[in-house]
């Protein structure tokens, strides 16, 4: 009996050490290919994009990120491997080899996605329908031959290594056991918090060195295991304390929060009236949201250079906010934010579709005040569920690509045959054609453009490529810097095209009789991500311009505001000057535009990068991105800071918004039925 027990123990020990040895070999191969792929990714990144750091510096950071990723998961994977190996050794070894091949196939796709879009793919993948994903992927252009060859070659070499190298490598027992031991030390020591890439020069460089699988799977886990925010009876007092600490802001007086989380008394901050002559009748309002228009390359002080000369000249005749934020990193957020100052709900407010609670917006409120409301878009208005949102707000006219008559030319198709629809110049031309008959009603017109969207194909390509080259010359760039900028020639040419389209639009509108009584609002839905970004905040940094012949004085305001603030300010302005019938309570998230000329921020601004990622929050001079805290400078650059007290303050205020937002997801209302019946159509 003892001999049998000893034999069984020896058999167990032999299997254990064999499993440990084979696992160590697989882990070594895994790490080796991870490091090789990092080198390939860094090389692709610096060969196409300008960065301050050299190849070996970035590769070193990338290897550190890979090691952090490997040792964070190695110990639990090792325990699973050994456990199954003791039962089904042949099956588990083959299964792990297949798993490694699948892992790297996915990692390669994530790397190519980042290299193409300059965006880290995370849980946003789960926020779009198959139709929307197909449309977006189709817009990116043809599949390149080189990535396909790299994918095939890498996978073949990996497969060969997995099935050949284990026969030749024979690590000693304790050498093999070193892998799980290092992983254990890594997990209990907190080393992962020490080595971060925050000191790299740009957000692009920081994202380049990150392990793409680590980011994707962590984001996917958070998406399918969301943090729940329960009601907190003390949360309002927290928020009030934080607001008073960061700026002298008027307190928000919420009412009936149990049933209506965002319902509050009107702040009545009419900051626009001092700048306007009062007209005899209510003004027309034209809102132009330019796809991808970011401050990084528009207007005076743009750190990439001013590629919007017309907008720059217009801003000097306008009310202009250079430090303005969109509330979304993609187009899904712009309509609810600008027009309704609405929360995000789960995957964006418009994704609620038929479940959207009754809401007050510029669309339905102005329609109830005898405005004629219209939406113009060169693409398909069903994208991002825009049409559903518009119809629920009772828009009079929705005009998209299906309504353009013969004689209008679509954006040239990409190599895959995809086109977003009609470019900016054609959209504006159609707008004037459809508005030939003068209406007796004032109008609210919302125009959403598409030309500055990947794949950045425009008409008059040669003309705008030449303008692009002339810009580089005018900036006085060196030949080396010109070469860097030419990597994004299509993007910059589309910006110049869009700026010209806006110039033509304002010029054509100035000939209309109603021009003298029209207010124009121009902003971006978010910043083009396909040009590398300097910071996390860069993606949301857009200009805001309010231009009108009714202006009696202009102004440039360095104070921070966001899309959430437009609707509250317009409602107060129209109510005080033109008798707009509006309730004394509303559910606007924003407080209203800040017309302070010096740099400050009195607003708490949640920012949703994608439909599924709500991780950015700005309060005072600080920006919280996940667990990272940044301080915003006067030039709207940001620097990472280590201040746990400040971080907790922002987290608490951010959680307050998330709790209210979660209440809307759970089915709570925005406004009472009595308000909707009386003030909204």
Q: Burial, 15: exposed, middle or buried (Cβ in 10 Å; 0-12, 13-18, 19+)?
A: middle
Q: What is the pLDDT of residues 9-48, one digit of tens each?
A: 666 778 888 888 888 899 999 999 999 999 999 998 998 8
**In a domain? residue 458:** yes
pTM of this prediction? 0.90
- Of 168, 191, 224, the one marking the end of a domain is 224
**In a domain? residue 591:** yes
Identify whether the C-beta of residue 619 lies closer than 8 Å to the C-beta of residue 655: no
Angle, CA 561 vertex, CA 254 and CA 231 arms, to 5°: 30
Higher pLDDT, 548 or 258: 548
Question: In terms of domains, do 218 and 352 share one?
Answer: no
Q: What is the pLDDT of residues 172-229, one digit of tens each?
A: 777 788 888 988 888 887 665 655 666 787 889 999 999 999 999 988 888 787 765 6
Question: In terms of domains, do 505 and 370 share one?
Answer: yes
**In a domain? residue 613:** yes
Question: In terms of domains, do 140 and 248 share one?
Answer: no
* % of the chain with per-residue pLDDT over 90: 67
Q: What is the pLDDT of residues 109-133, one digit of tens each?
A: 999 888 888 888 887 777 766 666 6
* Rounded Cα–Cα distance for residues 570 and 580 (Å): 10
Question: In terms of domains, do 327 and 424 share one?
Answer: yes
Number of separate domains in the chain = 2
Identify whether the C-beta of residue 379 lies closer than 8 Å to the C-beta of residue 415: no
Alpha helices, H only, 251-315: 309-315
- Of 198, 224, 250, the one marking the end of a domain is 224
* % of the chain with per-residue pLDDT over 70: 91
**In a domain? residue 96:** yes
**In a domain? residue 230:** no
DSSP string, 613-667: EEEEEEETTEEEETTEEEEE-TTS-EEEE--HHHHHHHHHHHHHHHHHHHHHHTT
Structure token pair of residue 282: 């209510």
**In a domain? residue 154:** yes
- Of 182, 205, 224, the one marking the end of a domain is 224
Residue 139: is its pLDDT beyond 70? no
Question: In terms of domains, do 174 and 274 share one?
Answer: no
Question: In terms of domains, do 216 and 245 share one?
Answer: no
**In a domain? residue 229:** no
* Rounded Cα–Cα distance for residues 338 and 564 (Å): 6
Question: In terms of domains, do 139 and 247 share one?
Answer: no
DSSP state at residue 202: S
CA atoms within 13 A on the CB side of 311: 35
Residue with tokens 């040895």: 21
Q: What is the structure's pLDDT at 238?
A: 41
E strand or H helix at 28, and its extent? helix 2-48
From residue 89, give the alpha-carbon distance in Å to each of 8, 322, 351, 391: 16, 63, 47, 60
Q: What is the structure's pLDDT at 197?
A: 64
**In a domain? residue 90:** yes
* Beta strand 604-610 pairing with 397-399: unpaired
Question: In terms of domains, do 212 and 271 share one?
Answer: no
Supply the range of the domain harboring residue 473. 235-679
Question: In terms of domains, do 217 and 242 share one?
Answer: no
CA-based nearest residue to 182, from 24, 415, 22, 356: 24
Identify whether the C-beta of residue 655 lies closer than 8 Å to the C-beta of residue 229: yes
Residue 135: is its pLDDT beyond 80? no
* Rounded Cα–Cα distance for residues 81 and 22 (Å): 10
**Polymer length of the chain:** 681
pLDDT averaged over every residue in the chain? 89
Residues with Cβ within 8 Å of 8's Cβ and at least 6 positions away in sequence, in order, are: none
Encode 133-162: b = buried (16+ Cβ within 10 Å), e = exposed. eebbebbbbeeeeebeebbeebeeebeeeb
Residues with Cβ within 8 Å of 373's Cβ and at least 6 positions away in sequence, in order, are: 363, 366, 367, 393, 394, 395, 396, 397, 443, 444, 445, 446
89 pLDDT band, cuts 50/70/90, is: confident
CATH of the domain at 260: 3.40.720.10
* Rounded Cα–Cα distance for residues 450 and 459 (Å): 13
Question: In terms of domains, do 212 and 256 share one?
Answer: no
Question: In terms of domains, do 166 and 282 share one?
Answer: no
Alpha helices, H only, 119-234: 130-139, 145-164, 173-189, 203-208, 212-224
Q: What is the pLDDT of residues 43-53, one digit of tens each?
A: 989 988 888 89
Question: In terms of domains, do 218 and 265 share one?
Answer: no
E strand or H helix at 26, and its extent? helix 2-48
CA-based nearest residue to 651, from 219, 231, 242, 218: 242
Residues with Cβ within 8 Å of 479's Cβ and at least 6 positions away in sequence, in order, are: none
């Amino acid at each position: 009996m003892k001999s049998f027990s000893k034999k069984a123990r020896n058999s167990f020990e032999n299997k254990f050490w064999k499993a440990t040895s084979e696992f160590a070999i697989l882990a070594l191969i895994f790490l080796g290919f991870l490091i090789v792929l990092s080198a390939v990714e860094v090389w692709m990144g610096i060969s196409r994009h300008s960065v301050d750091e050299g190849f070996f510096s970035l590769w070193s950071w990338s290897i550190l990120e890979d090691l952090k990723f490997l040792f964070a998961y190695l110990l639990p994977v090792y325990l699973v491997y050994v456990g199954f190996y003791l039962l089904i050794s042949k099956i588990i070894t083959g299964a792990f080899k297949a798993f490694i091949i699948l892992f790297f196939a996915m990692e390669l796709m994530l790397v190519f996605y980042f290299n193409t879009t300059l965006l880290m793919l995370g849980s946003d993948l789960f926020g779009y329908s198959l139709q929307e994903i197909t449309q977006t992927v189709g817009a990116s252009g043809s599949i390149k031959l080189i990535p396909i060859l790299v994918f095939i070659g890498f996978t073949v070499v990996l497969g060969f290594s997995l099935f050949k190298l284990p026969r030749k490598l024979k690590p000693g027992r304790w050498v093999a056991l070193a892998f799980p031991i290092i992983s254990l030390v890594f997990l209990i020591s907190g080393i992962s918090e020490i080595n971060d890439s925050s000191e790299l020069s740009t957000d692009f460089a920081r994202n380049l060195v990150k392990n793409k699988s680590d980011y994707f799977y962590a984001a996917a886990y958070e998406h399918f295991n969301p943090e729940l925010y329960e009601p907190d009876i003390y949360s309002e007092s927290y928020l009030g304390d934080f607001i008073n600490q960061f700026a002298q802001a008027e307190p928000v007086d919420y009412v009936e929060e149990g049933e209506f989380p965002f319902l509050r008394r009107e702040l009545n901050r009419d900051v626009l009236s001092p700048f306007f002559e009062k007209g005899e009748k209510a003004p027309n309002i034209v809102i132009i949201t330019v796809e991808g228009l970011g401050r990084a390359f528009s207007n005076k002080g743009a750190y990439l250079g001013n590629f919007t000369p017309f907008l720059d000249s217009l801003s000097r005749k306008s009310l202009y906010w250079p430090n303005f934020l969109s509330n979304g990193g993609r187009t899904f957020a712009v309509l609810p934010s600008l027009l309704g100052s609405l929360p995000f709900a789960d995957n964006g407010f418009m994704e609620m579709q038929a479940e959207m609670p009754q809401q007050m917006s510029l669309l339905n409120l102005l329609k109830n005040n005898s405005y004629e409301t219209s939406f113009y878009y060169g693409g398909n208005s069903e994208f991002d569920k825009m049409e559903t949102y518009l119809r629920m707000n009772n828009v009079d006219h929705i005009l998209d690509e299906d309504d353009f008559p013969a004689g209008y030319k679509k954006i040239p198709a990409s190599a895959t045959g995809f086109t977003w629809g009609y470019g900016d110049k054609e959209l504006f031309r159609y707008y004037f054609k459809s508005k030939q008959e003068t209406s007796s009603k004032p109008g609210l017109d919302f125009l959403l453009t598409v030309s500055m969207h990947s794949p950045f194909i425009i008409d008059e390509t040669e003309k705008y490529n030449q303008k692009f080259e002339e810009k580089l010359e005018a900036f006085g760039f060196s030949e080396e810097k010109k070469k860097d900028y030419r990597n994004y020639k299509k993007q910059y040419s589309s910006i110049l095209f869009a700026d010209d389209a806006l110039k033509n639009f304002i010029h054509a509108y100035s000939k209309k009789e109603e021009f003298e009584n029209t207010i124009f609002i121009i902003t971006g839905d978010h910043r083009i991500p396909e040009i590398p970004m300097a910071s996390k905040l860069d993606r949301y940094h857009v200009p805001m311009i309010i231009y009108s012949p009714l202006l009696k004085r202009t102004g440039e305001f360095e104070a921070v505001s966001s899309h959430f603030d437009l609707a509250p300010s317009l409602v107060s302005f129209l109510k005080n000057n033109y008798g707009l019938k509006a309730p004394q309570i509303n559910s606007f998230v924003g407080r209203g535009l800040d017309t302070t000329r010096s740099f400050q921020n009195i607003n708490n601004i949640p920012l949703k990068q994608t439909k599924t990622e709500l991780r950015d929050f700005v309060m005072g001079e600080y920006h919280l991105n996940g667990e990272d805290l940044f301080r915003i400078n006067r030039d709207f650059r940001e620097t990472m800071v280590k201040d746990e007290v400040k971080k907790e303050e922002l987290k608490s205020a951010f959680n307050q918004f998330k709790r209210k937002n979660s209440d809307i997801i759970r089915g709570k209302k925005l406004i009472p039925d009595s308000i909707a019946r009386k003030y909204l159509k």
